[in-house]
A and B are shown apart, each in its own frame.
Chain A
Amino acid sequence: MSETLADVRIRCLEDTDLGHITGIDEKIGGSYRPEVWERRMAYYSRRDPDASVVAESGGRVIGFMFGEIRSGEFGMEEPTGWIEVLGVDPDARGKAIGRQLAESIMDYFRRSGATTVRTMVDAEMVGIERFFESLGFEPASLRPFVKKLSEGA
């Protein structure tokens, strides 16, 4: 088990978290992308704000996880909780922040009648894969297929 951080509060995403979330993304990926996070804020805040949570400690957001419940996709009729976007401040990793965020969202999914939770992880992102495995996720049979749509083709 990872060591835990005291005074962490998991709560719903709020509009005033935008700056901190953009900052975490920048620390992870190295680029500053405010427009991307503004769009995501507009999207997730209107989808199901209870399914998007942040971890706050000492007045700062140190992690976030956005998701929603959907059904009817890819032949999956049952309501499914999707975890779609996540990030924990690199300085706060390994302290069960990610786990607490996921548990909070999954708890909400469960209460809302979802029977399954799913996510998609890029095979190159081994850390995220391990993270989900530790939470009990297993590889699913549903595999993404991709084809580039070049013009005229």
Chain B
Amino acid sequence: MTKTHLPAKFHDAVVKWQQTFLPDYDFLIENWDKYFPRDRQFELCAFRELGICNEVECGDAEGEPKRTKAAALHPEQAGHLLGAIRAQASTEFGSIQQHQLTLARAQNEEEQFWILRMMAEELRHGYQMLHLLLDDDWSSVTDASSEDLVEETLSMRTGSHILGAFNVDFDSFVDNAVFCALIDRVGKYQLNMQRVSAYKPMAESMPQMLREEAFHLAAGVVPLRRWMEQAARELPYVSTSDIQKTINKWFPRGLEMFGDERGGGTNVRFGLKPMKNLEAQDLYIEEVGKLVRDLNMRYIRARIPGLDLAQAEQVLNRILADRGTDQGIAWEDLVHLPDRAFFRRRGVPAFELAGWQGESFEDLPSYLEHLRRHLPDAYRASRDFRHYVEQAQKLTGGEVTLREAVSAMPGLRRVGGVCPCSKSVRWVAETPQSGAAAGDSGSAA
């Protein structure tokens, strides 16, 4: 594995960004040994894996040497790739902004520290994507300068990111955990697919990111399992219904991160990913199904400690088969995988009136009532949810077409002045001043 850093002014820009959006970074580093005594210290850098496959692994150019420069790609191919790198960078930085909103609300210090480490690793992932943007010449497919590309990424906020999942606010620490378990899991699929990328620097960037991703999933799943256990013991903290509603909030956004169910063929032809969108989405749904089953098993065994593994599995199977009650445990006490058409705003089922268990609804008011009952209270007070409802109403009223509703994004709602970094901040220094403190060099537009 090789390790590199961005040119100083871009590195400084990321550090400045970190000081604003990940203020607990220093706390993490200072206390690293308390929670991760044997782990290598975190470092903000880009890693490239050596010895990865040299030949294009899928698509039209299968078997040809992988490209090491964007200029060696077909322009359309390079355009797709650049879009993917920018989107990936946006997700990495975006998720930190979201986690930061509720990080302080964790009940358990260890779990909080896990999330904090995960945030630092997301910063490294964002840094890795900036490294891809800066280490090559993209002028054949964009007019944007290196500075502009970095600036664009670093100036995005919750509300202006490229993918919907990164524009939704967190309301409690349950969001931190469910997001890791569901949204980072989509990330794992994307990284895994990009591991075969015909663009070698992308392929070489994936292995270390994937290693880190394994922990991100655990950092979500372990707290979820603990909450299931506590709920089974009737402790008053996070209920299974809270978890279910939070899954309902994120799962649809996770599905949409795969892209439209009809698409993905171009990426395969270009050798950038080995699977079309629907194929990857199907695998993801199956995997989330396993997670849900695992959580339910954790619950049942805590609720009836006398059952052994096989007996608990039988109880779960009976409850799922008839949606009934077995040994005092009701279907409603457990968590379930939402239907893939539920609460969608993009892709094939966009704006279908599909219930969380696949029920269909005659009219919008009864569907909205259904959403009211199955989404978290705090989320329904959000800008994002309001936007969905308004688009659904306009669509029903014939004011917009489906295509318009799908492509509408929740408006930017952060305004200058609410925080130290108003819109006018530039992250990348125009002219690097020798001797200037790293923290000062990124601002002043």
Query: Which A residues lie at the B interface, using CB under 8 A?
Result: 12-16, 18-19, 23, 26-27, 32, 34, 38, 41-42, 45-50, 70
Contacts and interface: CB of A to CB of B under 8 A. Distances in A.
Contacts of B291: 15-16
In order of increasing CB-CB distance, the 8 nearest A-B pairs are A46-B215, A49-B214, A45-B218, A16-B290, A19-B294, A15-B217, A45-B214, A15-B221
A34 B300 CA distance: 13
B211 A50 contact: yes
Contacts of B287: 16
A19 B298 contact: yes
B226 A42 contact: no
Contacts, number: 63
B225 interface: yes
A19 B215 contact: no
Contacts of B290: 16
28 contacts: A12-B214, A14-B214, A14-B217, A15-B181, A16-B221, A16-B287, A16-B290, A16-B291, A16-B294, A18-B225, A18-B294, A19-B294, A19-B297, A27-B309, A34-B225, A34-B229, A34-B298, A38-B226, A42-B215, A45-B217, A45-B218, A46-B36, A46-B39, A46-B117, A47-B38, A48-B211, A49-B214, A50-B211
Contacts of A16: 221, 287, 290-291, 294
Q: How large is the interface on B (under 10, 10 to 19, 20 to 34, 35 or more residues)?
A: 20 to 34
Contacts of B229: 34
Interface of B: 36, 38-39, 114, 117, 181, 210-212, 214-215, 217-219, 221-222, 225-226, 229, 287, 290-291, 293-294, 297-298, 301, 308-309
Contacts of A18: 221, 225, 294
A3 to B, nearest CB: 25
Contacts of B226: 38
A26 B313 CA distance: 14
Contacts of A42: 114, 215, 218-219, 222
B33 to A, nearest CB: 14
A38 B215 contact: no
Contacts of B212: 46
Contacts of B210: 49
